[in-house]
Amino acid sequence: MVTIQNLRKKFGKNQVLSGLDLSFGAGGIFAILGPNGSGKTTLIKSVLGMVIPDKGEITVLGKNITKNSDYRHQIDYLPQIANFPSNLKVKELIKMIKDLRKSTKEDERLIELFKLTPFLDKKLGQLSGGTKQKVNLVLTFMFDSPIIILDEPTSGLDPISMLRLKDLIQVEKEKGKTILITSHIMSFVEEISDEIVFILEGKIYFKGTITELKTKTNQPDFEHAIASILTDNHA
């Protein structure tokens, strides 16, 4: 579904991505992890066409994305921070995005799932961070694209909404979709992901299952395995 070859990107003198090779298949949930500044966001934005790499090739659904923007219609993206117009009502924003993307019948089901009906007539500027995140999730999941990219999807969510999100992600995976996730919540990553990709200083330190990572680091649990990577590389 997504293939990345020799991806390199520099900002000034800072080498953010140093020759990444990665592939993500269909019907899988892949967590992209790493400390702040490791290159996770640059990698995601490169796949989305929001950052132009210095070198390398990205193919999405078998097509090279260079000079091709059509592929973006095949990706549903949840940004870490959604800057909504504060004077718009929730229902106005949902209608606007539906009109732009043209096809969805899922919005009503998702509004019910995240219990947003009481907020539809409220302006976005009046909402709490958690409620804004639920709106953000509705906007992301109401289209039926084969690739979903979620940047810190649990931000501000209460425990019940977190459970609903996990179920939603699993349902989409079962449809054969490719789902890429970044998150700082290790328990969420451990529960939801089929594989993890750990990026350090623009390079892939590890790609595989959490069980394989625990074996590689000789650690009893996921959090200690991640901690040992960071400790070993900053010793």
45-99 pLDDT tens trace? 999 999 999 999 999 998 899 888 888 889 999 998 778 888 999 999 999 888 8
The residue with tokens 């592939």 is 23
Question: Per-residue pLDDT averaged across 24-40, rounded?
Answer: 91
State the chain's maximal CA–CA distance in angstroms.
Answer: 53
Beta strands in the chain (DSSP E): 2-11, 14-24, 28-33, 55-60, 63-64, 75-78, 147-151, 178-182, 195-200, 203-208
- Looking at residue 124, the DSSP 8-state letter turns out to be G
pLDDT at residue 22 tops 60: yes
Residue 186, token pair as written in the block: 């290790």
Question: Per-residue pLDDT averaged across 123-143, rounded?
Answer: 93
- What confidence tier does 121 reach under pLDDT thresholds 50, 70, 90? very high
pLDDT at residue 235 tops 80: no
Residue 100, token pair as written in the block: 């732009």
- What confidence tier does 127 reach under pLDDT thresholds 50, 70, 90? very high
pTM for the structure as a whole: 0.92
Residue 1, token pair as written in the block: 């579904």
HSE-up of residue 127 (Cα within 13 Å, Cβ side): 27
Indicate which CATH number applies to the domain containing 191.
3.40.50.300
User: How many CB atoms within 10 Å of residue 73?
Assistant: 12
| Structural domain that includes position 88 | 2-233
How many domains would you assign to the chain?
1
